[in-house]
Structure 1
Amino acid sequence: MQGMGETGEACPFEFNFDPATFKPGDVVSYRVTGSLDGFPFVGTLVEVHDDHVVLLPDPTKPDERYRGTRESRPLVDESEIG
């Protein structure tokens, strides 16, 4: 996300990229498969499991949640996107 704004402008998000320390409330950058491949997305972790995470992509829509892989930038299957 660096370099996307004005010169010297910092990214407004502070991400956790360490899956070993993921906890609910952490903000992460995640990816989506398929037609959205390559675009960065921002979400908040609401659940952290041994093999996956559950993301809240939009705080104004608390019922919309995506399951993603547990890795530095979780991967969400495009079929999860509503």
Structure 2
Amino acid sequence: MSDEKCPFEFNFDPASFKVGDTVSYRVPKLTGFPFAAQVKAVYDDYIEIVDAGEPGKIMRATRESRPVVNDEDALN
């Protein structure tokens, strides 16, 4: 085991999501592989996130501990 610390601090509490938080999100078609994104907007029943790999692409995600982005939004 390595003593390396994860470079991200994730927020897994959907009740406390706020703009600027880092979340671990999933894409169903990619079998739950985790991705990291930053929260850009918070709504009652969903959030909007941006993955650093595609900074101009805002994705809608579920508001749960590990948000889900639908396949079409994530892969197009």
Query: Are residue 47 (structure 1) and residue 22 (structure 2) matched?
Result: no
Secondary structure (helix, strand or coil) at the match of 1:74 reads coil
Residue identity over aligned pairs, in percent, reads 49
Q: Secondary structure at the match of 1:76?
A: coil
Q: What's the C-alpha RMSD, in Å, of the aligned pairs?
A: 1.3
What residue is the counterpart of 2:67 in the other structure?
A: 74
Is residue 26 from structure 1 mapped to residue 21 from structure 2 by the alignment?
Answer: yes
Paired residues, what number?
75
- 4+ residue stretches of structure 1 with deviation over 4 A? none
For residues 43-72 of structure 1, what are the alpha-carbon distances to aligned partners after superposition, in whole Å with 9 as ceiling and x for unaligned?
0000100000000112x6432011000000
Question: Is the aligned partner of 1:65 residue 2:32?
Answer: no
Alignment partner, residue 6 of structure 2: 11
Q: Tell me the TM-score normalised to structure 1 length.
A: 0.84
Write the distance in 1 (CA, Å) between the matches of 2:56 and 2:70: 18
Q: Which runs of 5+ in 2 are unaligned?
A: none
Aligned position for 1:3: none
